[in-house]
Every structure is written in C-alpha cells, then in structure tokens.
Amino acid sequence: MYLEIKQLSKQFGGLHAVNNVDFSIEKGKINAIIGPNGAGKSTFFNLISGVHKPTSGKVIFKGKDISNLAANEIAELGVARTFQTTNLFERSTIFDNVVVGHRLRTRSNLFDAIFRTKRLKQEEEKSKEIALEVLDFVGLSNYADRLVANISQEEKKRVAFALALATDPEIVFLDEPTAGVNPDETEKLSYLIEKMTQGGITVCLIEHKMKMIMNLADKIMVLNYGEKIAEGIPEEINKNEQVIKAYLGGSASA
Ligand SMILES: Nc1ncnc2c1ncn2[C@@H]1O[C@H](COP(=O)(O)OP(=O)(O)OP(=O)(O)O)[C@@H](O)[C@H]1O
Ligand SMILES: [Mg+2]
C-alpha cells in the first residue's frame, strides 16, 4: 500500500484526539476524511505530516516508517499539506508569498545568506521559476502581483494549494480546502483538486461539504470522537446508519 496508517493514536492529556485509527491510501486517488467538529481530523493530518508525534501507532509511506520523522524530513519525502487556517503575508503579493514559502523550505544556510553565494542566487532563481509554474497550475498567473490583502477567500485557497505544490509533492493533505467559499467557487476548487490527481498527485482532504465530497472522493473515512466509525466509497458512507446518526444528523444529503 502507498500510504498506510496503523493503529494511530494521539492523546492530549486525558483526551483521545485520535484513537487507534487504521487507514490506507492508494496512489493517485482522492481520499476524504469527514466527521463532526473536534472529531480529530486535523490532528490526524498533524500526525501524518509530523506536526505532532503519535502517542502510538505507525505511519508507513512507500514502505518506510515515517511516524517519528521531523516535519521537514516528511516534506522532503514528497508529503505536503495545507492548514485549516491559511497564514499568508497579507501585505505581500501572491508571487512573493509563494517564493518566500518555497525559500523557507529550501536549503541555503546562513553562510550562503550572508555572503550571497552563487548557490543562493541560483536557488532564488529556481524558487521564482517554481512559483510561476505553480501559480499557472492553480490559475493565478494573471494575479501574481496582487496583494494578498486584496484577493478573495477562494484565491487565498488557491495560493495555499500553490504553496503546497511548490514543494513538488507526491501526496497532498488539504485541511478544509474550500472552507468559507461559495458553492460556485467550491466547484472550481474541486476541479483544481481533480486536476492535481490528473497530474499524478495523490490527494487526501478534510471537508465538511458533503455534496462536494460525495462527488469528488474515491474513498471516505469518517471520524467521530477520534475513532474511525466508517470507511468506504461515497455510496456506502451515504447510507451508513452510524454515519447518518453521528454526523449527518439524520440527513445524508445535507
Ligand atoms: N495541540 C492540542 N493540544 C490539546 N488538544 C488538542 C490539540 N489539538 C487538538 N486538540 C483537541 O483534539 C480534539 C480534536 O481536534 P481536531 O482539531 O483534530 O478536530 P477536527 O476534527 O479537525 O475539528 P474541526 O472540524 O473543528 O476542524 C479536539 O478536542 C481538540 O480540542
Ligand atoms: Mg480541523
């Protein structure tokens, strides 16, 4: 299996934020994680991407145990993510946000930075090239010079995608990629997520928007109070009694 999660748990004091969760991700597919507020979805992402260390359990990526690697080491293996709240530099341009985001993840050391070595300059050029490339992919190349403070929520979401894509990932974890955008924009962002998979990237996303998830996902996992209560294709999840009771409040089409 491409990415395998085995009996993953995270406790914060007495709270079982993620409790003994097994999950597997197939290459090239769109996987979704749903569940009520506080169910442990973001924590699950934080465990995979190295923001938090698991209390127990394992994350195996392409046969390698990455459970205890640092976040930057995990990123270097091709695992990228976006955060639920996108922290962008509001007073910088879209382009500069992506360049800086990329620079923060690349190599130059203090020596390079002080003496502005040839390598540093080459890396800066490379970051600019990559920024143009990913902004083109997410449909923002014509807006590259706009200040982030002046763009829409949907465009900010696209910038967050661009930041994740700039690291040239194999798999991306998107934490509520369409939160706070209207239905039309949600559809456009869904299209962009599909375009990522067509480009060979595996996607795993957290979302509350059921209709979108039902249309987009190949596979869905449902978390409730840190535990996996269901897993399956959208049709299965849609008619799962436990899911309807726990999460959908009696209406699977909400
Ligand atoms: N760093 C932390 N320290 C202590 N408790 C935390 C921490 N992070 C998350 N929690 C708790 O773990 C539980 C799961 O939180 P998490 O953010 O993973 O939920 P979620 O499913 O992403 O919810 P939402 O849909 O609201 O984003 C919550 O009770 C939360 O308060
Ligand atoms: Mg969350």
93: CB partners within 8 A, 6+ apart: 144, 145, 146, 147, 148
- Going from the Cα of 38 to the center of ligand 1, the distance in angstroms, rounded, reads 5
Burial 115-139 (b: 16+ CB within 10 A, else e): eeeeebeebbeebbebbeebbebbb
Ligand 1 atom with the smallest distance to the CA of 44 is 18
* pLDDT tens figures, 56-87: 999 999 999 999 999 999 999 999 999 988 88
C-alpha distances out from residue 227 to 95, 119, 138, 187, 223, Å: 40, 48, 34, 29, 5
* pLDDT tens figures, 188-236: 999 999 999 999 999 999 999 999 999 999 999 999 999 999 999 999 9
Kindly identify the ligand whose nearest atom is closest to the C-alpha of 36.
Answer: 1
- Going from the Cα of 221 to the center of ligand 1, the distance in angstroms, rounded, reads 17
Q: What pLDDT score was predicted for residue 245?
A: 83
Residue 119 pLDDT level (bands cut at 50, 70, 90): confident
Three-state DSSP class for residue 9: strand
Residue 251 pLDDT level (bands cut at 50, 70, 90): very low
Phi and psi for 19 in degrees, rounded to 5?
Answer: -125, 95
